[in-house]
Amino acid sequence: MRTFANIISIVFHPLLMVTYAVLLALNYTYLAIYPATMKLFLVGGAFLCTAIIPGLLIMLMVKSGSAGDLELTDKRERVIPYLIFITANMICLFYLFKMRMPLWLLSMSVGVCLALFIALFVNFFWKISVHGIGVGGLLGVVMGTSQIQLINPFWFFIFIILASGLVCTSRIILKKHTPMQAYAGFGLGFICTFGASFISFTYLLI
What's the pLDDT score for residue 1? Answer: 76
121: containing domain: 2-205
Instruction: Give the pLDDT band of residue 104 (cuts 50, 70, 90).
Output: confident
pLDDT of residue 204: 60
45 and 65 in contact (C-beta within 8 Å)? Answer: no
pLDDT digits (tens, 9 = 90+) for 2-36: 788 888 888 999 999 999 999 988 988 888 899 99
CA–CA separation, 35 and 114 (whole Å): 31
Give pLDDT tens digits for 156-198: 888 889 999 999 999 999 888 899 999 999 999 999 999 988 8
pLDDT of residue 22: 93
Radius of gyration (C-alpha) of the chain in whole angstroms: 16
d(CA 113, CA 115): 5
Number of domains composing the chain: 1
Distance, CA of 182 to CA of 18 (rounded, Å): 19
Judge whether 93 and 113 are in contact, CB under 8 Å: yes
**Which of 104-107's residues contact partners 24+ apart within 8 Å by CB, and which partners?**
104/144, 104/145, 104/148, 104/197, 104/200, 104/201, 104/204, 105/22, 105/25, 105/31, 106/200, 107/196, 107/197, 107/199, 107/200
pLDDT at 153: 76
What pLDDT shows up at residue 186? Answer: 94
Tell me the residue type at 159. F
Judged against a pLDDT cut of 70, whether residue 73 lies above it is answered with: no
Asked if the model's pLDDT at residue 152 lies above 60, the reply is: yes
Backbone angles phi, psi at 177, to 5 degrees: -150, 155
Percent of the chain surpassing pLDDT 90: 51
**pTM reported for the whole predicted model:** 0.90
Mean pLDDT of the chain: 88
